Amino acid sequence: MATLRTITPCLWFDSQAEEAAQFYSGIFPHSKITNISRYGEAGYEFHKKPAGTVMAVAFELDGQSFTALNGGPTFTFNEAISFQIDCHSQEEVDHYWERLSEDGDENAQQCGWLKDKYGLSWQVVPGVLMELLNDPDTKKSQRVMQAMLQMKKINIAELQRAYS
């Protein structure tokens, strides 16, 4: 049996694949667009895209491979899938939250979750949150949970105050 080497998420966009890949690559360190493929004349009866239109963009975010596909308006993102960003500091939380939420859906922000301008959901989560929520002292962990439920962007200092 062959060994699975990688799993690459493929993100379906209407026509913004290249724009989205550039946007995401500008937010995460060690990120880049690695390939852009374009529609040709073959298959026009199915894809209805003019020859030369961007079909797919291969890109990496901090070393993780992704594909962005311009597949048309048939499918859109929903909250059933999200990408979780493990942050090590409030500065990282602030950076990812502010950049990813630019022109996003403010009504879809809660408990560290946000929806970006393309409709993709992200969880911007400091690692300390899980440590505090998993504390064996349930009174402390429940105070942290209650504090988190009041937040949109996670505030580490507020979580630590609730814990103490």
Q: Show me where the domains of the chain are located.
A: 1-76, 77-164
Q: Which fold has domain 1-76?
A: 2,3-Dihydroxybiphenyl 1,2-Dioxygenase; domain 1 (3.10.180)
**CA 151 to CA 160: how far, in whole Å?**
14
Task: Return phi, psi of residue 103, to 5°.
Answer: 60, 20
Fold (CATH) for 77-164: 2,3-Dihydroxybiphenyl 1,2-Dioxygenase; domain 1 (3.10.180)
Same fold, 1-76 and 77-164: yes
Whole-model pTM: value is 0.91
Sequential pLDDT tens for the chain (164 residues): 677 778 999 999 999 999 999 999 999 999 999 999 999 999 888 888 899 999 999 999 999 999 999 999 999 999 999 999 999 999 999 999 999 999 999 988 999 999 999 999 999 999 999 999 999 999 999 999 999 999 999 999 999 999 99
Integer angstrom CA distances of residue 2 from 64, 65, 97: 21, 20, 39
